[in-house]
């Protein structure tokens, strides 16, 4: 069964850091462009970052210089290292591919609050 499982979210103060993880089924991960998306309350899901199988990365302007996407091919895992978090980063974070799979994971909640 193809699946995506996100973890690592939590509550953090402004300026803090978190690392998110996403374990994908091998059939999804192999050769794919892996990406992170997020959805804040009352807003549409938006692109955050992506990494191709060749290592090319892309970031939304709002997270450039603060977030880093990486992958571990042996573990079929995609990471999102987030630093200098601010209130606008509060959202449910999802991983998927580009183009995205029809079935999304449950996501992981990131809350930035003082």
pLDDT at residue 100 in the model: 87
pLDDT at residue 2 in the model: 75
Per-residue tens of pLDDT for the chain, all 114 residues: 679 999 999 999 999 999 999 999 999 999 899 999 999 999 999 999 999 999 999 999 999 999 999 999 999 999 999 999 999 999 999 999 999 888 899 999 999 999
Give 110's contacts (C-beta < 8 A, 6+ positions apart).
9, 10, 12, 18, 20, 38, 82, 85, 89, 90, 91, 92, 93
Query: What torsion, rounded to 10 degrees, do the Cα atoms 60, 65, 63, 35 define?
Result: 60
């Amino acid at each position: 069964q193809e699946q995506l499982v996100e973890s690592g979210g939590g509550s953090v103060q402004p300026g803090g850091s978190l690392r998110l993880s996403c374990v994908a089924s091998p059939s999804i991960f192999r050769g794919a462009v892996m990406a992170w998306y997020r959805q804040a309350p009352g807003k549409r899901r938006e692109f955050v970052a992506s990494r191709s199988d060749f290592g090319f990365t892309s970031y939304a302007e709002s997270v450039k210089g603060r977030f880093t996407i990486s992958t571990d091919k042996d573990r079929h895992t995609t990471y999102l290292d987030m630093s200098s978090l601010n209130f606008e980063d509060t959202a449910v974070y999802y991983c998927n591919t580009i183009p995205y799979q029809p079935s999304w994971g449950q996501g992981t909640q990131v809350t930035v609050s003082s």
